[in-house]
């Protein structure tokens, strides 16, 4: 990608195939699909380009950007994309994790439930919102409680598929906590289901990951009992 205001080296796709994949809710890998040059461009340049292109989208839709309510929208959207809702794409925003000795010798599961999830569907760029519940059993180290929320937030702030989000959170927790004894459950609603397509406003999607001791049925049931599931 060049930095002079033009876009290049973006692979073309078969639009019919892309539409079919999107409606079938597929995802290609555990890692978020990123180009090798994803961070070659400064954030300010990205915002400038997104503002320009989003302005063009609004003009194509017939909106009057001289209206006081609309004229600032392209810039607001561009800043929101880079600085807020998709900030989890940039590794520099990844939360720093510090571990502490488990001085209390607490050897039972620790559960952090009802962590707010607010993400965006990568197929239609509309919100995914709900709750994440995570648990771990200490291997001798513990983590500050707020960092569990921060990890969920970081991976949520990118175009996502819920299955991938679940695994990414679990993998990060395993690495950060140096244990396989991790559980993650996400219960979320998808605006791509609620506001378009089938338009079902009553359904939600539940995904789960169980590792280590949580693969044991009794341990898993104990975790789910804390969630009322």
Residue 74 sits in the same domain as residue 174: no
Please report the pLDDT score of residue 2 as a whole number: 38
3-class DSSP state of 187? strand
Residue 107 sits in the same domain as residue 166: yes
Residue 173 CB neighbour total at 10 angstroms: 25
31 catalytic? Reply is no
Residue 109 sits in the same domain as residue 186: yes
25 catalytic? Reply is no
Per-residue pLDDT of the chain (229 residues; tens, 9 = 90+): 433 343 444 444 454 554 555 556 565 689 999 999 999 999 999 999 999 999 999 999 999 999 999 999 999 999 999 999 999 999 999 999 999 999 889 999 999 999 999 999 999 999 999 999 999 999 999 999 999 999 999 999 999 999 999 999 999 999 999 999 999 999 999 998 888 887 888 889 999 999 999 999 999 999 999 999 8
The answer to whether the CB of 1 falls within 8 A of the CB of 37 is yes
Exactly one of 153, 160, 168, 192 is catalytic; name it. Answer: 192
Residue 180 sits in the same domain as residue 165: yes
List of residues 6+ apart from 7 with CB closer than 8 A: 1, 49
Exactly one of 124, 163, 180, 222 is catalytic; name it. Answer: 124
Please report the pLDDT score of residue 26 as a whole number: 63
Exactly one of 51, 160, 162, 172 is catalytic; name it. Answer: 162
The CB-side HSE value for 191 (13 A sphere, CA atoms) comes to: 12
Residue 84 placed within a domain:
yes
Residue 48 sits in the same domain as residue 160: no
Q: Which two tokens stand for residue 186?
A: 């996400």
Residue 121 sits in the same domain as residue 215: yes
Beta-sheet pairing, 109-121 with 159-160: parallel
**Helix ranges (DSSP H) in 104-208:** 145-156, 162-177, 191-194
133 catalytic? Reply is no
CATH number at residue 191: 3.30.1130.10
The answer to whether the CB of 131 falls within 8 A of the CB of 113 is yes
123 catalytic? Reply is yes
121 catalytic? Reply is yes
53 catalytic? Reply is no
Residue 19 sits in the same domain as residue 70: yes
Please report the pLDDT score of residue 49 as a whole number: 98
* Structural domain total, the chain: 2
Using CB atoms within 10 Å of the CB of residue 22, give its burial: 0 to 12 exposed, 13 to 18 middle, 19+ buried.
middle
Please report the pLDDT score of residue 27 as a whole number: 58
Residue 142 sits in the same domain as residue 114: yes
Domain hosting residue 71, numbered range: 15-93
The C-alpha atoms of residue 181 and residue 190 are separated, in whole angstroms, by 29
Residue 105 sits in the same domain as residue 45: no
Exactly one of 51, 122, 153, 172 is catalytic; name it. Answer: 122
The C-alpha atoms of residue 25 and residue 228 are separated, in whole angstroms, by 28
3-class DSSP state of 113? strand
Please report the pLDDT score of residue 52 as a whole number: 98
DSSP designation for 87: G
Residue 89 placed within a domain:
yes
């Amino acid at each position: 990608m060049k930095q002079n205001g033009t876009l290049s080296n973006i692979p073309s796709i078969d639009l019919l195939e892309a539409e079919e994949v999107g409606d079938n809710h597929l995802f290609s890998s555990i890692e978020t699909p990123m180009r090798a040059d994803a961070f070659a461009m400064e954030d300010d340049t990205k915002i400038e380009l997104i503002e320009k292109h989003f302005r063009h989208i609004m003009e194509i839709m017939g909106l009057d950007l001289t209206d006081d309510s609309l004229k600032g929208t392209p810039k607001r959207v561009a800043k929101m994309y880079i600085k807020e809702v998709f900030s989890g794409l940039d590794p520099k925003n990844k939360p720093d994790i510090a571990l502490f000795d488990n001085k209390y010798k607490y050897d039972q599961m620790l559960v952090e439930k009802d962590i707010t999830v607010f993400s965006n569907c990568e197929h239609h760029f509309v919100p995914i919102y709900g709750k994440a519940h995570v648990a771990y059993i200490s291997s001798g180290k513990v983590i500050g409680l707020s960092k569990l929320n921060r990890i969920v937030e970081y991976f949520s702030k990118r175009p996502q598929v819920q299955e991938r989000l679940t695994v990414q959170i679990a993998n990060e927790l395993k690495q950060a906590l140096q244990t396989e004894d991790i559980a993650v459950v996400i219960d979320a609603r998808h605006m791509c289901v609620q506001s378009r397509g089938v338009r079902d406003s009553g359904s939600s999607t539940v995904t789960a990951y169980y590792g280590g001791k949580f693969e044991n049925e009794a341990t898993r049931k104990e975790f789910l009992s804390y969630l009322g599931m």
